[in-house]
């Protein structure tokens, strides 16, 4: 569903050329490593059916989704030569469906390895997979004891040829964080026991930790979509999304008048208030109440009052009336208000803002 531009409360612009340009920059940054793309959660909310082919056209051949169904949905949009890896592995009993849809699991537990091994026995052929080891995040991947059990059984090596040995970094956006070196050391020690298997450790931020972290395959998501990879440093990536909300109506309020649920804003003098058709149901987080700023022709207009389900209210005092007509647009994410700034104001991160972007927006894709 893509609501018509004239019907929608906001226009979301997604720049596929910027995603391609970010992919090229990451490829430069990643040296000898191949560059995969994390396109889970519908390519971070931006549309895996659009983003996937744009990246494939740029030469990307490794794609990561989280869920089986994300892989099934993505398969028809990618060339047959592109590999789709399912980060969560095959849910118990679904192993055959991965095969049927040309998907490859990331195996995270001994249970998943055993199920994949059993299918390989039944089909009487090897079934390659990625193996993920836990190097300190305690979230996904083989705990040390399960990794030992995997390595101790030579039958697994035959039935499941490892495509990559993989792990994931917990603190990569903080370049000086001791966890990075600690996880790298643990990863290296697993790798020494499997020296001939290609390896993959880095997400977007991990790429910027330098060549030691890059191995054979890097797996950026956020950076492709314009999110800054290094905390506290300038963002070298091109912005990908812009969001323009539409004005529904305007009014003048007087000293002592209130705005919105809970009357969390009260005017101390005459103000002009514009109501815009974007709310928390569209992923404009309620924590932005009385915090955000929208821009009209580059001029800041503060958000006043509480974010409602379907609308927000702006103090547009001093903006020309012609510019405040119903249907006119205000910049919520764009050149004056980058995604990462919006996230900071919301007390969130760019990842969450992107993956929450509303389904009621009209979506416009540029390039591709
Ligand atoms: C989401 C994810 C990525 C991509 O991470 P970014 O920080 O968005 O670059 C890479 N690897 C794994 C295992 C992931 O879950």
Tokens of 197: 């298997």
38 SS3 class = strand
DSSP state of 133: B
Please state, rounded to an integer, the average pLDDT across all residues of the chain.
97
Contact 353, 338 (CB under 8 A): no
Rounded Cα–Cα distance for residues 188 and 89 (Å): 23
Contact 96, 119 (CB under 8 A): yes
CA angle 258, 260, 263 (to 5 degrees): 50
How does pLDDT run across 287-344, given as a tens digit for each residue? 999 998 999 999 999 999 999 999 999 999 999 999 999 999 999 999 999 999 999 9
Query: What is the mean predicted confidence (pLDDT) over 136-158?
Result: 97
Query: What is the mean predicted confidence (pLDDT) over 4-25?
Result: 97
Comparing CA positions, the residue from 85, 111, 88 lying closest to residue 219 is 85
According to the model, what pLDDT value does residue 263 have? 97
Q: Diameter of the chain by CA atoms?
A: 79
- Extract the annotated binding site: 139, 309
Straight-line distance from the first to the last Cα atom of the chain, in angstroms, rounded to the nearest whole number: 20
Query: How far does residue 143's CA lie from ligand 1's centre (Å)?
Result: 19
- Map tokens 């080891």 to a residue: 133
CA 87 to ligand 1: nearest atom? 13
Clarify whether 44 is annotated catalytic: no
Cα 329 vs. chain centroid, distance in angstroms? 26
Beta strands in 219-289 (DSSP E): 241-253, 258-259, 265-266, 271-276
CA 224 to ligand 1: nearest atom? 9
Query: How far does residue 293's CA lie from ligand 1's centre (Å)?
Result: 30
Tokens of 94: 């679904």
Total Cβ atoms within 10 A of residue 262: 10
Clarify whether 32 is annotated catalytic: no
Looking at ligand 1, which residue's alpha carbon is closest to its atom 12? 168
Rounded Cα–Cα distance for residues 226 and 223 (Å): 5
CA 223 to ligand 1: nearest atom? 9
| Span of 3-7, 119-123, 300-304, 359-363 with lowest mean pLDDT | 3-7
Quickly state the pLDDT bin for 168 (edges 50, 70, 90). Answer: very high
Tokens of 272: 């002009």
Looking at ligand 1, which residue's alpha carbon is closest to its atom 3? 203
Query: What is the mean predicted confidence (pLDDT) over 71-82?
Result: 98
Query: How far does residue 219's CA lie from ligand 1's centre (Å)?
Result: 6
Tell me which of 219, 222, 223, 226 to substitute to probe ligand 1's pocket, judged by most ligand atoms within 8 Å of the beta carbon.
219
Tell me which of 26, 168, 339 to substitute to probe ligand 1's pocket, judged by most ligand atoms within 8 Å of the beta carbon.
168
CA 220 to ligand 1: nearest atom? 9
What are the two backbone dihedrals, phi and then psi, of residue 314, each rounded to the nearest 5 degrees? Answer: -115, 145
- CATH no., domain 241-366: 2.40.37.10
- Alpha carbon dihedral 195, 197, 202, 203, in 10-degree steps, equals -170
Comparing CA positions, the residue from 277, 286, 307, 347 lying closest to residue 3 is 277
The domain spans of the chain are 16-225, 241-366
Query: How far does residue 84's CA lie from ligand 1's centre (Å)?
Result: 14
Which residues are CB-contacts of 80 (< 8 A; sequence separation ≥ 6)?
102
Comparing CA positions, the residue from 341, 316, 315, 299 lying closest to residue 260 is 315
95 SS3 class = helix
According to the model, what pLDDT value does residue 368 have? 83
- Map tokens 């191995």 to a residue: 215
Tokens of 240: 């990908």
DSSP state of 368: -
Which residues have CB under 6 Å of ligand 1?
38, 40, 87, 168, 203-205, 219-223
- Map tokens 């026991």 to a residue: 193
According to the model, what pLDDT value does residue 303 have? 97
Point out the catalytic residue in the list 32, 44, 158, 261.
Answer: 261
Q: Are strands 271-276 and 241-253 parallel, antiparallel or unpaired?
A: antiparallel
- Extract the annotated binding site for substrate: 139, 309
230 SS3 class = coil
CA angle 78, 349, 336 (to 5 degrees): 90
Contact 246, 228 (CB under 8 A): no
- Alpha carbon dihedral 123, 124, 129, 134, in 10-degree steps, equals 100
CA angle 87, 93, 99 (to 5 degrees): 60
Rounded Cα–Cα distance for residues 355 and 242 (Å): 14
Contact 172, 179 (CB under 8 A): no
Point out the catalytic residue in the list 40, 44, 225, 280.
Answer: 40
According to the model, what pLDDT value does residue 1 have? 75
CA angle 26, 129, 354 (to 5 degrees): 40
Asked if the domains at 16-225 and 241-366 fall in one CATH topology, the answer is no
Query: What is the mean predicted confidence (pLDDT) over 93-120?
Result: 98
How does pLDDT run across 242-270, given as a tens digit for each residue? 999 999 999 999 999 999 999 999 999 99
Third-level CATH fold of 16-225: TIM Barrel (3.20.20)
Query: How far does residue 280's CA lie from ligand 1's centre (Å)?
Result: 26
């Amino acid at each position: 569903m893509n609501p018509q531009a004239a019907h929608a409360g906001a226009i979301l612009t997604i720049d596929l050329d910027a995603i391609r340009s970010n992919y090229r920059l990451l490829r430069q940054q990643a040296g000898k490593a191949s560059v995969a793309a994390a396109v889970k959660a519908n390519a971070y909310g931006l549309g895996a059916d659009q983003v996937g082919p744009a990246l494939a056209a740029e030469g990307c051949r490794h794609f990561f989704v989280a869920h089986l169904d994300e892989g099934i949905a993505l398969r028809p949009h990618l060339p047959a030569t592109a590999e789709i890896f399912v980060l969560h592995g095959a849910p118990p009993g679904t192993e055959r469906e991965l095969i049927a849809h040309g998907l490859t699991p990331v195996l995270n537990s001994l249970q998943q390895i055993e199920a994949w091994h059993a299918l390989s026995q039944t089909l009487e052929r090897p079934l390659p997979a990625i193996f993920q080891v836990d190097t300190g995040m305690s979230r996904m991947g083989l705990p040390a004891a399960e990794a030992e059990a995997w390595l101790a059984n030579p039958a697994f090596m035959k039935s499941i040829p490892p495509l990559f040995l993989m792990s994931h970094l917990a603190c990569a956006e903080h370049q000086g964080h001791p966890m990075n070196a600690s996880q790298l050391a643990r990863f290296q020690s697993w790798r020494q026991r499997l020296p001939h298997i290609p390896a993959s450790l880095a997400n977007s931020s991990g790429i910027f930790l330098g060549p030691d972290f890059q191995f054979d395959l890097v797996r950026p998501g956020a950076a492709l979509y314009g999110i800054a990879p290094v905390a506290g440093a300038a963002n070298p990536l091109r912005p990908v999304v812009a969001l323009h909300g539409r004005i529904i109506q305007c009014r003048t309020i007087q000293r002592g008048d209130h705005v919105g649920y809970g009357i969390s804003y009260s005017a101390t003098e005459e103000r002009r208030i514009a109501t815009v058709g974007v709310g928390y149901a569209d992923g404009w987080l309620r924590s932005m109440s009385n915090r955000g700023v929208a821009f009209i022709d580059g001029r800041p207009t503060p958000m006043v009052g509480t974010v409602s389900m379907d609308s927000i209210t702006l103090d547009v005092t001093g903006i020309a009336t012609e510019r405040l007509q119903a249907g006119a647009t205000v910049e919520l994410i764009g050149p004056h208000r980058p995604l990462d700034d919006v996230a900071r104001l919301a007390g969130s991160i760019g990842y969450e803002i992107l993956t929450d972007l509303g389904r009621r927006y009209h979506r416009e894709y540029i390039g591709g």
